[in-house]
Amino acid sequence: MSKRRKVNFLAAGLIVGSLSFCTTQAYAAENGLTISLENQKQTDVQPILVKDRTFIPLYTLADWVGAGVEYDASTHTVTCTKDEITFTIDVLQGVVKENGEQIAMDPPPRIMNGRTMVPLRYFAESFGYQVFYNASTNTVNIVPSQDVLKKREVIKDLLRKSQEATNAKNSYQMNFGLKASLPTGIVKANLTGNMQFDYNKNPFALHGKGSIDVPIQPQAQHFDIEMYLIDGKIYYLNPETHKWEKITIMSQAEWNQLIQMSTSTTMTPQQEEQINMLLPMATLKDNGNTYEIHFSLTKSALKKLIMNSPVPGSNGAVPSIPTDEELQFFKTFHIIQTIDKASSLQKGFSINMEMAIPDAGSMNITVDGTLSNFDQVPPISIPQDVLQNAVEVPVH
């Protein structure tokens, strides 16, 4: 959290907070009130009782239900969005608007210890969850409604059918564009790029060609890119030396696992686990001939996704798990998967990530891609001169 944001939250806390919060917080702690999410106890949140209503941090609740949260320091407002529901909270005045309409809420959201606290039941139910209180265990349990569960099953079924149809193809092409805004501390570099990848199932290989442009003054830079991915190695043409190099990114076991994931028409247990993890953050949109499945990943979901990555890290290494301190710089992480209704084939994808880089600015990366030419790509083979002359680059 930036110093400016901390100052704003602290100021809001001094204005809105009151002495009564100290007593209500102590009351909640003494009573031992606990929170469960889908019957799993949540140990990372301390609920607060305000006028016999349970309050929890907005960021925690949003993380649970897969809602996006943004804070505008200039207006002291927090915006929380999922599906067609958008809440706007004035943290100084405690005023809440739902889809633009002000709503009466007593007691209203407020700041405590630098955190936006909201009434659990109202916000959870607005996002399609049910809230139950068990007096015998002094536990509040939050569970998805039947409508939410049905939506999850529809999305999961679409993803299963898409994997079955797409992975059954022997080959296809992927075309994607890259846009990136990278702060350097002095100027912001706006990168653009285009790549085309040919994919072939047997033998399993990818071949990509494209370019990247970096229009930084006084001299813009252009890089041509070509690479192969085969047998756990990436062969690439160094854009500066124009010589072929190679790097081993996976062990043979990891490579075999990647092949299984990419060619199997049924989900592996790890893929099933990943999908179940992402479903609370998923939204389905019907665009006529296609479906779009949107995933808005929260910080904790992103961490869990990396921890449960089906293919570990580089050449047998355990993937680097980001710390909570590192994750605080992530602002947004969105994934969109486009599925053709008639064939269930995956026809496109989009990935957008925004990060706040300390002392530099905001970094934004967007990748938009399409899949086409199914079963029309010829077998991929690496030229002999590339195999013979590529220089091995060690993994550090």
Q: State residue 160's pLDDT score.
A: 95
Radius of gyration of the chain (CA): 24
Q: What is d(CA 375, CA 366) in angstroms, rounded to the nearest whole number? A: 28
Cβ-Cβ contacts under 8 Å for 265 (sequence gap 6 or more): 163, 164, 167, 168
Residue 203 C-beta-side C-alpha neighbours within 13 Å: 11
- Judged against a pLDDT cut of 90, whether residue 378 lies above it is answered with yes
* CA 88 – CA 126 distance, rounded (Å): 13
**Does pLDDT of 348 surpass 50?**
yes
Determine whether domain 149-392 maps to CATH 2.40.160.150: no
Lowest mean pLDDT among 10-14, 48-52, 70-74, 256-260: 10-14
Sorting pLDDT into bands at 50, 70 and 90, what band is 370?
Answer: very high
Bridge-based pairing of strands 244-248 and 233-237 is: antiparallel
Confidence at residue 309, expressed as pLDDT on a 0 to 100 scale = 63
Rounded to an integer, what is the distance from CA 273 to the centroid of its chain? 16
Cα→Cα distances 217→188, 189, 190, 191, Å: 11, 9, 11, 13
Residue-averaged pLDDT of the chain:
84
The span from the CA of 343 to the CA of 166, in Å, is 9
Question: What is the maximum alpha-carbon separation in the chain?
Answer: 76
What does DSSP assign to residue 154?
H
* DSSP state string for 194-262: EEEEEEETTTTEEEEEEEEEE--TTS-EEEEEEEEEETTEEEEE-TTT--EEEEE-S-HHHHHHHHHHH
pTM equals: 0.81
Q: DSSP character for 47?
A: -
* Window from 87-101, 124-138, 185-199, 372-386 with minimum mean pLDDT: 185-199
Please give the pLDDT value at position 85. Answer: 92
CATH number belonging to the domain at 3-144, selected among 3.30.457.10, 3.30.70.360, 3.90.226.10, 3.40.50.410: 3.30.457.10
Which range has the worst mean pLDDT, 16-30, 80-94, 173-187, 192-206?
Answer: 16-30
Q: What is the pLDDT of residue 13?
A: 37
Residues in the chain, overall count:
396
Extents of the domains making up the chain: 3-144, 149-392
Task: Give tens-digit pLDDT for 117-153.
Answer: 999 999 999 999 999 999 999 999 999 999 999 999 9
Would you state the pLDDT for residue 214?
A: 82
Half-sphere exposure of 104 (CA within 13 A, CB side): 0
pLDDT at position 218, please? 63
pLDDT of residue 188: 66
Tell me the per-residue pLDDT of 237-255, one tens digit each, with 9 for 90 and over. 998 899 999 999 988 988 9
Separation CA 100–CA 44 (nearest Å) = 32
Q: Please say if the pLDDT value at position 30 is more than 80.
A: no
**Cβ neighbourhood burial of 288 (10 Å; 0-12, 13-18, 19+):** exposed
pLDDT at 321: 62
pLDDT value at 8 more than 80: no
| pLDDT band (50, 70, 90) for residue 14 | very low
pLDDT digits (tens, 9 = 90+) for 187-245: 567 889 999 999 999 999 999 999 998 876 667 788 999 999 999 999 999 988 999 99
Question: Which pair of structure tokens corresponds to residue 182?
Answer: 């990278």
Write out pLDDT tens, residues 255-305. Answer: 998 898 899 999 888 888 888 888 998 999 999 999 999 998 877 777 777
Confidence of residue 68 (pLDDT cuts 50, 70, 90): confident
pLDDT at 305: 73
Instruction: Give the pLDDT confidence score for residue 148 in this predicted structure.
Output: 93
Bigger pLDDT: 321 or 19? 321
Percentage with pLDDT > 90 across the chain:
51
Give the per-residue pLDDT at 287.
Answer: 94
CB 260, CB 201: distance < 8 Å: no
